[in-house]
Amino acid sequence: MRYEDAYRRSIEEPEAFWAEEARAIHWHTPPQRILDYSNPPFRKWFVGGTTNLCYNAVDRHLETRPDQLALVAVSTETGITRRVTYRELYREVNAFAAALREFGVGRGDRVVIYMPNFAEAVFAILACARIGAIHSVVFGGFAAHNLALRIDDAKPKLLICADAGMRAGKVVRYKPLVDEACAAARSPPPAVLVVRRGLDADLAMQPARDFEYAPLRAKHANARVPVAWLESNEPSYLLYTSGTTGKPKGVQRDVGGYAVAMALSMRTVFDVGAGQTMFTTSDIGWAVGHSYNVYGPLIVGATSLLYEGLPTHPDPGVWWRLCAQYGVRSMFSSPTAIRVLKKQDPAWLKKHDLSALKWLFLAGEPLDEPTARWISEGIGKPVIDNYWQTETGWPVLTLLPGLDLKPQKFGSPGLPNLGYRMRVVNEVTGADAAADEKGVLTIVPPLPPGCLSTIWGDDARFLKGYFGHFRELLYSSLDWAIRDADGYYFILGRTDDVINVAGHRLGTREIEEAVATHGAVAEAAVIGVADELKGQVPVVFATLKDASAGASARRAAAEGMLERVVAMLGAVARPARIYVVDALPKTRSGKLLRRSLAALAQHADPGDLSTLDDPNALEEIKRALARGPEWGG
């Protein structure tokens, strides 16, 4: 089917379109009504239908593919690889579900999961879904304070954690962080279930509160736990994302709509079906990990490759070796991860047989053209950009290689996905922006299936935060964008990542794109700092492909970056200072900590750095600021 026809039907006849797509999943009770939009912007999809995410991800595949691999969990940190068939997954999930029931966990109860990327984390997630409990996965290694905030908001009946994780060969002890968070929380869970990996020799257990999973797993090895059939719009999970007020927002996802969206996106976007393999490099604590490490691949009967480790260990070819070994069809990663590989010998891209690999998908931040071209040419595969948010749960803007692949435009994540009615509007008037005119990216409600239902326990925050920005009822992405004459969208950065230089509004992303076109640059981050004359000025921090470059080469590169910015964006975007550094501060998920950079540049508190991947990167920025820029004063 042509993209244009499918998209038009999804927008003009949404109920008929989604009724057809709903057939891709199992319904215990068929939906009585496809869409209830009687209370805008709140909407309900597949009203009256009952289903279960665990049943769709596990049970329904037992007849047709019981001995096919469902999950391959690879850890280059521990050296352990776990291969789990659908039959084995069913047994493990049932055992875990039986253990949950021992703690009185049932339908509607919240369970916080604080674990790294290993098999038991997936078992725990699916076990919650099986019995109707609402899971909330918190990124493993989050600081105790942040974990406590999420505990107090979710008020879990149980917290599940690993004894520890590993990062770059170093053990990250989770249990002490859990103890600290529980002590700080106003509503700590009455019980903590610990999955011991043998990484923490000093594991301390609190009597009457802490329990080990291993004895419970042995006890319930042959358990068969009934599925809880949930109405389509009941909550399935909470996923917390940062809020502007400092209090994290619990994005609430439904059951039926999410299952349908996963089935559709696996087929049309990621081009993966039953018996095929998908490799997603995300942590399970993020939205991508939920949707495309766990639920999406399993719902369609595919094999999911789960990875714990760095993209460069034991060597920079490890991801491509795994693609070759397991016949990966579609791989999903981030631009930042590819930029890390960009610093390595490109010969690693050619060492393994990638004949089975068809697509590389990149998302999480805007994809610059040099990075996209480098990896596409290096592995000889198409790179598919896509844009979405924690709130949407699946891609908003993308191309659809599984349906009808349209031409790519570097720098653009593509066209509106099926079901998403998009508009770029003027930030003040709310009027539609002209082609190639910058505005705020919005979605016309009702939001399609799979998107957030509300903010957990806070409908008012949902309304104000996402639908309170314009006179007309529109979901604001809080991202700047332009739409070209062909209908392709280009993301320019957050609406709060704007530099106002002498009355000229510049997106930091625009300047970063210009800097990245310089051949010596590996990665760049641009921030705005206060300036007495102009209000704000842009400051650039950049790493070079040649990490051993001397002082003169660094100065020359900085001058070249300046020339590229002026040539592409004009003198108004001219950076005030350019620092060439050895590393940029990032979270363990690969996000650049631009706000921390801005704070350091202005001698302010850099904020919570609990998710910092490499503490040395922060020290490198401090040293660079102390010695002065390679260009500017």
pLDDT score recorded for residue 555:
95
pLDDT tens column, 10-22: 999 999 999 999 9
Tell me how far apart the alpha carbons of residues 438 and 455 are, in angstroms, rounded to a whole number.
Answer: 29
Q: How many C-beta atoms lie closer than 10 Å to residue 1's C-beta?
A: 11
Q: What is the dihedral of CA 341, 401, 291, 497, to 10 degrees?
A: 60
pLDDT score recorded for residue 25:
98
pLDDT score recorded for residue 625:
93
Q: What is the mean pLDDT of residues 491-505?
A: 73
Domain ranges of the chain: 3-480, 497-632
> Cβ-count burial of 435 within 10 angstroms (0-12 exposed, 13-18 middle, 19+ buried)?
exposed
Give 432's strand partners: 425
Kindly tell me if the per-residue pLDDT of 494 is higher than 90. no
Higher pLDDT, 89 or 605: 89
Higher pLDDT, 128 or 530: 128
pLDDT score recorded for residue 363:
92
pLDDT score recorded for residue 246:
56
Q: What is the mean pLDDT of residues 402-431?
A: 96
* Portion of the chain with pLDDT greater than 90, in percent: 81
Kindly tell me if the per-residue pLDDT of 608 is higher than 70. no
pLDDT score recorded for residue 140:
83
Banded model confidence at residue 502, pLDDT cuts 50, 70, 90: low
Locate 552 and state its tokens: 């003169």
What mean pLDDT, rounded, does the chain reach?
93
- The angle, 0 to 180 degrees and rounded to 10, between the axes of the packed helices 144-154 and 175-184 is 60
pLDDT score recorded for residue 60:
98
pLDDT score recorded for residue 589:
67
Tell me how far apart the alpha carbons of residues 158 and 100 are, in angstroms, rounded to a whole number.
Answer: 8
Lowest mean pLDDT, pick from 341-355, 400-414, 449-463, 614-628 = 614-628
Tell me how far apart the alpha carbons of residues 461 and 22 are, in angstroms, rounded to a whole number.
Answer: 30
Lowest mean pLDDT, pick from 443-457, 460-474, 522-536 = 522-536
pLDDT score recorded for residue 593:
83
Cα diameter, the chain: 72
Q: Does domain 3-480 have CATH number 3.80.10.10?
A: no
Distances (CA, A) of 541 to 192, 511, 520: 43, 11, 13
Contact 393, 541 (CB under 8 A): no
Helix (H, G, I), strand (E, B) or coil at 452: coil
pLDDT score recorded for residue 309:
95
Locate 452 and state its tokens: 């957030």
Site of tokens 């070819």: 317
Residue 501 φ then ψ, to 5°: -100, 105
Q: What is the mean pLDDT of residues 561-589?
A: 88
pLDDT tens column, 334-360: 988 898 899 899 999 999 999 999 999
pLDDT tens column, 225-283: 999 999 999 999 999 986 544 578 999 999 999 999 999 999 999 999 999 999 999 99
Which residue stretches of 84-228 are H helix? 86-102, 119-131, 144-154, 175-184, 213-219
Contact 11, 419 (CB under 8 A): yes
pLDDT score recorded for residue 604:
83
Q: What is the mean pLDDT of residues 386-408?
A: 97
Q: Which CATH number fits domain 497-632: 3.40.50.720, 1.10.287.130, 3.30.300.30, 3.40.1160.10?
A: 3.30.300.30
Tell me how far apart the alpha carbons of residues 156 and 248 are, in angstroms, rounded to a whole number.
Answer: 16
pLDDT score recorded for residue 609:
66
Give me the DSSP letters along 552-613: HHHHHHHHHHHHHHHHHH-GGG--SEEEE-S---BBTTS-B-HHHHHHHHTT------TTBS
pLDDT score recorded for residue 610:
64
Higher pLDDT, 463 or 367: 463
